[in-house]
Structure 1
């Protein structure tokens, strides 16, 4: 059995360090678990979409992890899917990310019998040249004789495959259905996502299992969120991968300070549309 740690939504930066101590506690906890690999599942930074210094701060902070680490970007790292956003994902923001952390999508065959595939959820449905490059990558990466797990910052959907578009919260309909076809065709075992700051495990009768990973930074009150499932918890996620399958454990981290983003009254982040 191979253990993989997932740290989601740390939101650490040099300009605003509110959540940095929680990051340190999460890293110490993961180091004690002696996992083979850690995946940072997006929103590593507080505001790297607009701040080069936050990128540099986050890169330096990763050195505290004892083992190897793979990183994916989130909306606060490279910008939003929504083209009308004040900080849309674009080639310049993505280039800053890749220059610092390497590719914004990747595959890893380090776990025997398993393939881990990470994608940049922030370019799905944008029409950027980088998006089509990623689709071409996925056509190959998801076709494997290994069991495959897809990692993505944004969930593919909140409630069901055919729900309406909520571009801040989840993958929009056109790329979502394209992804659904790929996952069905390739028999992908599971999809692991972040962004909702909640924990969820859903194992449907058909298709991949879905896991939402809790954040280390803050919680969000239900009144600020679209309707969604999941449990209000802060911590990390431990994936156990073996020849028999994959299990996910949501692991509270001792000493994490509980924050609710609404209590900052918009001084950290503006409220997104529900």
Structure 2
């Protein structure tokens, strides 16, 4: 059992970034491995929890870092309960790092477990693709944040650009379709799709298109989809900020984690309650 957990940890480390340009893959892998052995980086990721980023992805990163350092007790401590997540699982790293058949078998178990748990989804393939891609993007983002503190890494920036292009292709393929629901791609798939839309800041028109799709999906539903309602609130603010307007719900912050200006700020908490968001602290 311990071997299985450690296999999962190492697979997540090796599968953190997917890039299309072959000449930059090796450099990105080296950068990731170097950061994974840096205790300062581990502390940086842990402290990043305060910024509101996804805790599951964060703890995966911390967990694999400790695994590389050989501190397996800490690695297992930080491992999320759902250790069979598809996040950051990427076949391309098997070839680069000469992973053995045993490690590949562990990866197959992850995929099989995901399919078993989500066999009732109408679009399981899309759910898996979205989950993998959003996990890779989050991983690249975390390493990028850390590197910006000091030196820059052009290869890592290129990796992020390649991931952005891949995400754009997926979103483009969904433009002519109805917005997926929990029944289509599951809660995890919906969170992953929303993340890709949120990060498409260079294409506000695309964000607005998906915003209208989300609104249409809510009108069709006969139940209260709290997840979709909250995501729509976030996207609404994102679009407004990208258009240099005041946000409605207070979900968007600047790079220094300062809340961006809000329309009718005195009543913002009333609006937040309507979209299932906790009140802002005064």
Q: Same fold (TM over 0.5)?
A: no
Identify the structure with the greater strand proportion: 1
Q: Which has the higher helix share?
A: 2
TM-score (norm 1): 0.33
Larger radius of gyration: 2
